[in-house]
Amino acid sequence: MRMWRGDRAVLLRNAMLLYPYIKNDTISYGRAAEMLDIPKMELIELYGSLGIAYFDMTEEELAEDLATLNKVGSVAVC
């Protein structure tokens, strides 16, 4: 379905109104996408086109998560 230009503007406005609630973990990306009646991946791509990253981690947080993953990966499972 081809979206009319005005529809895109409304979608962008509504997505931006929902973003603070996603950012503070009040709602998930999935719930916001449901509210906007679009697939979650489309919402993620929409935010990405606006320069809003899906993953919001510092380098330190990423390093910590990778260290935890490596540690868990080295544990033997019986």
Q: What single-letter DSSP state applies at residue 56?
A: -
Tell me the pLDDT tens digit for each residue of 7-64.
Answer: 989 999 999 999 999 999 999 999 999 999 999 999 999 999 999 999 878 889 989 9
Whole-number pLDDT of residue 33: 96
Whole-number pLDDT of residue 5: 62
Q: What is the C-alpha separation between 40 and 54, in angstroms, rounded?
A: 11
- Map out the domains of the chain as residue ranges: 5-73
Whole-number pLDDT of residue 3: 54
Phi, psi of 45 (to 5 degrees): -65, -40
Q: Which of 42, 47, 51 is nearest to 17 (CA)?
A: 47
